Amino acid sequence: MTAYEQLCDSLRHSPKQWLVTGAAGFIGSHLTQQLLSLGQRVRALDNFATGHRRNLDDVRRMVGEEAWTRFEFVEGSITDADTCSTTCQGVDFILHQAALGSVPRSIATPLNTHAANATGFVHMLHAAVQAGVKRMVYASSSSVYGDSPDLPKKESVIGRPLSPYAASKRVDEIYADAFANCYPISLAGLRYFNVFGARQDPAGPYAAVIPKWVALLLRTESPEIYGDGETSRDFTYIANVVQANLLAACTPMPDRHSTVYNVAVHDRTSLNTLFSALTHILGESRPDIAALRPTYKDFRAGDVRHSLADISKAVSELGYCPTHDLATGLREALNWYACELPAGLPQLA
């Protein structure tokens, strides 16, 4: 058995109380679903700034009514200190996912990004300490590597932040170190690398590349690629992220400890290659999609050119073992996109 399989078995026999912030969002809803499936009690916090009630409805359908009786929802914002304090009471573990994502959004509205990602994070840290929570796992980002040219990205080497979003996530890591130095709490930051999967919102100007492109392709529209298409990313399927969160929450650590882990698959894919993979898979059922070609635009401000994670630290310290690469993740995710996004399209083969 893998470390994650052993952990899941252990949790089934030893239910805990979890708090998932941002639970109506893409990643938060998957964490909530897995925890409920493992017999855990889950308190969820979200203000629906970027999350959706339909995600929670989908979780309820997936886990069933018995599991749903162990779910408690609090509508509120992490920018409100009292809300954070209330929701942390009686909690064993916190999985903190609430944030305003997107580099372009942070450039357009830096104050909103700071309020949610930095001030809200400190509210959660303080509330966790006051409530006696011993372990909090929080969403950091590969964006903290900034202009560092080193590949693969190692946790110990970062660069200059290239956007307010990247700066806010780096600030979170600094605050985590400070709180672990001053208070009896263990903190693990997960530097996510381009996560994708079901429930990822394709709408709006700040949508992630995979759901946005899939939505366009299913409408037989050509996506835009910023730059020459050789910009590369370490695309990470949601199942790998769920695994990393639970391992980081439950793996023994010192009482006063702060660390960060890359969460990825150690596999670099260019945007041109991603486009080819999407049109190939979608084209199996929709030949009209296979014939589409992208439109190239100027490079976008704040974007990192290349991204590839060294995951050896998570592997050695947590027992992290990715179960999905890009190809297997796309195969799982694309059926959801095809069924959920445009009504009436046939399910993919």
Would you state the structure tokens that stand for residue 42, as one six-digit string?
């889950």
d(Cα 224, Cα 300) in Å, to the nearest integer?
11
Which tokens in the block code for residue 6? 């052993």
Q: Is the sign of the CA dihedral 135, 143, 168, 240 positive or negative? A: negative
**CB–CB of 235/193 below 8 Å?**
yes
Helix (H) or strand (E) holding 296: strand 295-297
Query: In DSSP terms, which residues pair with 237 in a beta bridge?
Result: 196
165 is catalytic: yes
**Dist. CA 39–CA 30, nearest whole Å:** 15
Residues 140-169, buried b or exposed e (16+ Cβ, 10 A)? bbbbbbbeeeeebbebeebeebbbbbbbbb
d(CA 248, CA 189): 9
CA distance 63 to 271: 35
- Pair 46, 77: CB distance under 8 Å: no
Catalytic choice (138, 165, 237, 261): 165
Residue 73, beta-bridge partner list: 44
| 201 DSSP assignment | -
ω into 184 cis (within 30 of 0): no
Catalytically annotated residues: 165
